């Protein structure tokens, strides 16, 4: 069999599907039109299909003719609340945009389902296709885990894979063992003082200078308290205090996004941000309320699965098209929740149109970002091949 040729043969259909999704993007957990499009795209295949109970997910199970284990392939389906400015003839005009390429992820998994379904007779075990809403901050993956996606085929998958498009040289895959994407966390700090007249600060307890010290102390903490080879990143993005120029406010607060590359660093951040804020507030006779919320954990690729994935992809596409990435990305992924339950690999797939200038490429979440959907044949082949290789590896 030749999955690359089969992916190439599917390309016109997959491009049409991707463009249909691209024209009509939906945001968040409620994606009724997208869900229907996926159901229609899978309708002629012999799959066990279930719609989500708590969200607009789709789970499809392909049962091979031979006994074997279960693997899972995931495609996220949601778009972003961004007004598209690409000028493409299939651009969205509804105020939302597939600016993170999830339209390609969905079409790619449909393609993998189509390829694998054509080889059902030689397929040992089963493949679960996980079509997920709400990746962009809504934690759709956890909802699908609660809905039972890992039990969809009757037993827990032995491996899970997902591919994510990124800007860069067309058709190059990249992944790495261990941490591949950062964990995303939200930090909120409120300093409580005692309000008063702006002309008589000694009769009040001003929370503003304490909060200002906390902002800079967080940056010092990030460089002094953490291993340079296990870095953390803190961006204070919101500051709030008072509503009158001549009044010392009661409270002052900040919000920040906090990224980390290991669970150990997240644990330390939870403890250290609290100590720092409470300590600085106390030194100014204030108190601090600290809320550290883990949004998405660190995405960690299983080393053995990832080594096997890199070999499998190189077998199909050659060494020069499959890179082992030197560094994780500081973005985040809720596929981290799936990889917390099942060993597997998250793969980046570069898909910028080759004719664009590499130096000025728009990135994911930009209203100008363009992904070249000619990559979909290889994307579908890659996902199918990862599942196929894993199912046969277990049989041998």
Q: Which is nearer to Zn ion, 217 or 295 (CB)?
A: 295
- Point out which residues pair with 114 in neighbouring strands: none
131 neighbors 57 (Cβ within 8 angstroms): yes
Q: Which is nearer to Zn ion, 112 or 348 (CB)?
A: 348
**Nearest distance, CB of residue 185 and Zn ion, angstroms:** 18
Q: Which is nearer to Zn ion, 182 or 218 (CB)?
A: 182
Residue nearest to Zn ion (CB): 100
Torsion of CA 221, 226, 228, 234, to 10 degrees: -50
**Nearest distance, CB of residue 73 and Zn ion, angstroms:** 16
**Nearest distance, CB of residue 364 and Zn ion, angstroms:** 6
Q: Which is nearer to Zn ion, 100 or 339 (CB)?
A: 100
- Point out which residues pair with 199 in neighbouring strands: none
Which structure tokens are listed for 207? 């929370």
Q: Which is nearer to Zn ion, 100 or 172 (CB)?
A: 100
**Nearest distance, CB of residue 102 and Zn ion, angstroms:** 6
**Nearest distance, CB of residue 164 and Zn ion, angstroms:** 6
Q: Which is nearer to Zn ion, 101 or 157 (CB)?
A: 101
194 neighbors 287 (Cβ within 8 angstroms): no
**Interaction pattern, residues 79-118, with Zn ion; x per rule: CB under 5 A:** ---------------------x------------------
Q: How many CB atoms lie within 10 A of CB 229?
A: 6
60 lies in the site for Zn ion, by CB under 5 A: no
Residue 7: helix, strand or coil by DSSP?
A: helix
Residues 6+ apart with CB under 8 A from 312: 385, 386, 389
Question: Residue 236's closest CA among 250, 215, 222?
Answer: 215
**Nearest distance, CB of residue 135 and Zn ion, angstroms:** 6
42 phi/psi in degrees, rounded to 5 = -100, -5
Q: Total residues contacting Zn ion (rule CB under 5 A)?
A: 1
Which residues in this chain contact Zn ion in the complex, by CB under 5 A?
Answer: 100
């Amino acid at each position: 069999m030749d999955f690359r040729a089969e992916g190439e043969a599917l390309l016109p259909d997959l491009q049409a599907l991707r463009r249909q999704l691209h024209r009509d993007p939906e945001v968040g957990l409620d994606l009724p039109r997208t869900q229907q499009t996926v159901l229609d795209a899978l309708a002629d295949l012999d799959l066990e299909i279930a719609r989500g109970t708590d969200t607009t997910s789709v789970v499809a199970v392909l049962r091979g003719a031979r006994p074997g284990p279960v693997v899972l392939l995931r495609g996220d389906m949601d778009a972003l609340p961004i007004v598209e400015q690409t000028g493409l003839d299939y651009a969205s005009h509804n105020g939302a945009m597939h600016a993170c390429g999830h339209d390609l992820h969905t079409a790619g998994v449909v393609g993998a389902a189509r390829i694998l379904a054509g080889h059902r007779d030689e397929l040992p075990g089963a493949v679960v296709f996980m079509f997920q809403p709400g990746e962009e901050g809504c934690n759709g993956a956890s909802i699908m885990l609660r809905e039972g996606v890992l039990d969809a085929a009757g037993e827990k998958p032995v491996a899970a894979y997902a591919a994510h498009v990124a800007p860069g040289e067309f058709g190059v895959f990249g992944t790495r063992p261990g941490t591949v994407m950062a964990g995303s966390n939200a930090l909120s700090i409120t300093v409580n003082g005692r309000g008063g007249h702006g002309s008589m600060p000694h009769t009040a307890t001003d929370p503003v200078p304490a909060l200002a010290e906390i902002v800079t102390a967080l940056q010092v903490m990030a460089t002094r308290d953490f291993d340079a080879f296990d870095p953390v990143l803190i961006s204070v993005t919101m500051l709030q205090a008072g509503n009158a120029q001549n009044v010392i406010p009661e409270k002052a607060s900040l919000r920040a996004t906090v990224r980390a590359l290991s669970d150990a660093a997240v644990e330390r951040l939870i403890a250290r941000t609290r100590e720092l804020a409470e300590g600085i507030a106390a030194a100014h006779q204030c108190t601090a309320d600290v809320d550290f919320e883990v949004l998405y954990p660190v995405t960690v690729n299983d080393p053995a699965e990832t080594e096997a994935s890199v070999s499998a992809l190189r077998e199909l596409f050659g060494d020069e098209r499959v890179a082992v990435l030197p560094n994780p990305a500081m973005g985040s992924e809720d596929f981290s929740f799936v990889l917390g339950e099942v060993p597997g690999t998250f793969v980046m797939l570069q898909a910028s149109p080759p004719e664009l200038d590499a130096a000025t490429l728009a990135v994911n979440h930009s209203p100008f970002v363009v992904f070249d959907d000619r990559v979909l044949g290889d994307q579908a082949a890659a996902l199918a091949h990862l599942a196929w290789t894993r199912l046969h590896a277990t049989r041998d």
